[in-house]
Amino acid sequence: MKLFLTDYASYNEGTQFEFGHWVELEGFSSADDFIDYIKDHFAECDEKRPLLCGTPREETMFTDYEDMPSGLYSESMSFKEIETLFNLIDFMNDNGLDNLNNEGDNLLFLWNEYCQENGYENEIYNFDDDFFNTFLSDNPMEAFRLGCFSDINWNDDYIYFNGYGNLESVSDPSGEIDETALIDWIIETKI
């Protein structure tokens, strides 16, 4: 996850690109470490070229972001928001998630846990024999119906029941995951 760090005073003076830069959040051990970095950076900027108004830089501004959930981005994040972001990074790292857009069993497990806990029927499964044995082995008529009305590509790795109860397969399940809802749930229940 990256943020473009600058400050409002430099932005207002048109020097945000001279003193602003991309910061990779994974390079910091905590929100406090990141805040200390910002303070040190602003002190260096003040030393290099003081603001025209004569005050020190102090109002943090994040003008852009990459590889992070849009719902967590804010131009002027508070310490609490930054702390939440770092807690989310820690949770993701601890659970083998490089980012929430990657595909893989860890993300699916988390998404399916979210769906089960909240009573949603939006789970995504591995497209394998276990799926068919679990859901269709006792009901050949249902298997036939699903075969007629489903959208399946046998080369896909994942499968789910759509809103009509038919099957759809996908190679990348991230498009079927409600990122905002999942992140809110992680923040509320996991960190």
> pLDDT per residue over 127-173, tens digit each?
999 988 888 888 888 888 887 888 999 999 999 998 888 899 999 88
Query: How many distinct structural domains can be found in the chain?
Result: 2
Do 110 and 160 have their domain in common? yes
126, part of any domain: yes
| Six token digits for residue 49 | 């070229």
* Same domain membership, residue 78 and residue 110: no
pLDDT score of 99 more than 70? no
Among 46, 69, 94, the domain boundary falls at 94
The rounded mean pLDDT for the chain is 88
* Domain-ending residue, one of 74, 94, 114: 94
> Which tens digit of pLDDT belongs to each residue from 103-121?
467 888 899 999 999 989 8
CB 61 within 8 A of CB 7: yes
The residue type at 76: S
- Residue 72's pLDDT band, with cuts at 50, 70 and 90, is confident
Has residue 79 been placed in a domain?
A: yes
152 and 74 in a single domain? The answer is: no
Within a domain: residue 99? Answer: no
Laid out side by side, the sheet with 167-170 consists of 124-126, 158-161, 167-170
Task: Let me know if residue 111 belongs to a domain.
Answer: yes
pTM value is 0.74
Co-location of 66 and 111 in the same domain: no
What are 62's strand-pairing partners? 5
The answer to whether residue 101 scores a pLDDT higher than 60 is: no
Of 75, 94, 113, which residue sits at a domain end?
94
Residue 100 within any structural domain of the chain: no
Inside any domain, residue 60: yes
Same domain, 26 and 58: yes
pLDDT over 70 (residue 100): no
Higher pLDDT, 174 or 41: 41
Both tokens assigned to 10: 């430099």
Domain that holds residue 177: 105-189
The per-residue b/e assignment along 127-136, b for 16 or more CB within 10 angstroms, e otherwise, is: beeeeeeebb
184 or 99: which carries more pLDDT confidence? 184
The mean-pLDDT minimum among 19-23, 75-79, 137-141, 158-162 falls in 137-141
- Does residue 98 carry a pLDDT above 80? no
